[in-house]
């Protein structure tokens, strides 16, 4: 069992377009925590139900000829939709556009005027507004 990024990193060099290669390499640097199993085509053909179950439980399967990735075009990935969304979200977070927009959250404070309000009550009345127990069972 390896990690998704670790599995594909050695093969990035085979991407012909340099700009795409750099983007993919950068994206892979941010993708961690996705356990990955490389299986042969033969094993995949026989064990698809098991692989599907594994994918739904969070382990990606990479189907490669003879169980070894010799070129990217020889590998296919079986992945659950949830894992795919997780990967996309992590890549999105790390993109240049996203990081370029990173601003201090406190910048907005300069637009707020200081107030002079006493300390009581400290907490706002969310807790007083209504019930705490018994939503759905009381519905009719």
Partner 1 sequence: MSHFLLSTQTLFDISRRQNLPAERWLEGAAGRGIYKDDIAVSAVALMSIEQEVNKRINDAAQQTSDGGKSRVYELHKLLSNAKILFKNYVEDQRVINVDGAICERWGWLLETKITFEDQDGKPYDIGSVQKLEIACAIIGRNNIKFTYVDNARDAAGAISDLVMERPIEMFPDGTT
Residues forming the site for partner 1 (CB under 8 A): 82, 85-86, 89, 92-93, 98, 101-109, 111-118, 122-137
Structure tokens at 100: 């370029």
Q: How far is the CB of 49 from partner 1 (least distance, A)?
A: 25
Q: How far is the CB of 35 from partner 1 (least distance, A)?
A: 17
44 contact partners, CB below 8 Å, separation of at least 6: 51, 61, 63, 78
Q: How far is the CB of 7 from partner 1 (least distance, A)?
A: 21
- 120-123's contacts with Cβ under 8 Å and 24+ in sequence apart are none
Q: How far is the CB of 68 from partner 1 (least distance, A)?
A: 31
| Of residues 57 and 115, the one with the C-beta less far from partner 1 | 115
CA atoms within 13 A on the CB side of 80: 15
Do 95 and 33 touch, CB atoms closer than 8 A?
no
| Of residues 19 and 103, the one with the C-beta less far from partner 1 | 103
| Of residues 13 and 126, the one with the C-beta less far from partner 1 | 126
125 contact partners, CB below 8 Å, separation of at least 6: none
| Of residues 1 and 109, the one with the C-beta less far from partner 1 | 109
């Amino acid at each position: 069992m390896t990690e998704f990024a670790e599995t594909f990193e050695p093969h990035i060099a085979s991407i012909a377009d340099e700009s795409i290669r750099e983007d993919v390499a950068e994206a892979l640097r941010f993708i961690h925590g996705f356990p990955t199993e490389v299986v042969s085509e033969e094993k995949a053909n026989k064990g698809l139900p098991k692989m599907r179950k594994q994918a739904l439980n969070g382990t990606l399967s990479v189907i490669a000829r003879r169980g070894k990735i010799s070129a990217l075009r020889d590998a296919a990935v079986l992945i659950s939709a949830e894992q795919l969304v997780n990967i996309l979200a992590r890549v999105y977070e790390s993109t240049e556009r996203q990081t370029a927009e990173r601003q201090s959250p406190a910048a907005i404070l300069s637009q707020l005027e200081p107030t002079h309000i006493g300390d009581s009550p400290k907490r706002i009345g969310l807790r007083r507004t209504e019930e705490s127990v018994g939503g759905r069972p009381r519905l009719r």
